[in-house]
Amino acid sequence: METQELHRGRLIDHIQLVVRDLPASRRFYAAIFEVLGVPIGGETEDYFWADELFVSTADSDAALGKLTGRHHLAFQAADAAMVDAAHAAGLRAGGMDNGAPGERPYHPGYYAAFLLDPDGNNIEAVFHGPSTRSAASVKVTF
């Protein structure tokens, strides 16, 4: 995967998270990204990045001395087994369970797991695949 490639036309260009404990965040995200097949693109003592996610300390030049608030980020997985593995890897790397792997009611086939990272961000691994439930059992409420 090319980590320095420009992707015009995407809705999101990049996201920055400013964290309290960079080594703890690095361990957490590296564990999940290893399962998802996303390499860490680079790092210094006050930041690291992977694809379009930039994670830094409050002391980094880009952070302006302030932590970011709580965010929800969802990372795509290739299949349900990858969701399961990312959740397990995140737990081993210091994440806290925020929703065990399983199919969700958002749409048929929405299989996801949720973790809180070391700063309380809600991190999701999701696979959009075929439903394991019958269409009659799916109810989506907005």
pLDDT tens-place string over residues 39-49: 999 999 999 99
Measured between alpha carbons, how far is 33 from 139 in angstroms, rounded to an integer? 32
Residue type, 86: A
- The model's confidence at residue 61, banded by pLDDT at 50, 70 and 90, is confident
Q: The domain 15-59+70-137: what is its CATH number?
A: 3.10.180.10
**Domain boundaries in the chain?**
15-59+70-137
More confident residue, 2 or 122: 122
How sure is the predictor about 13, in pLDDT bands with cuts at 50, 70 and 90? confident
Angle between helical axes of 80-92 and 22-36 (0-180°, round to 10): 160
Token digits for 40? Answer: 């860490």
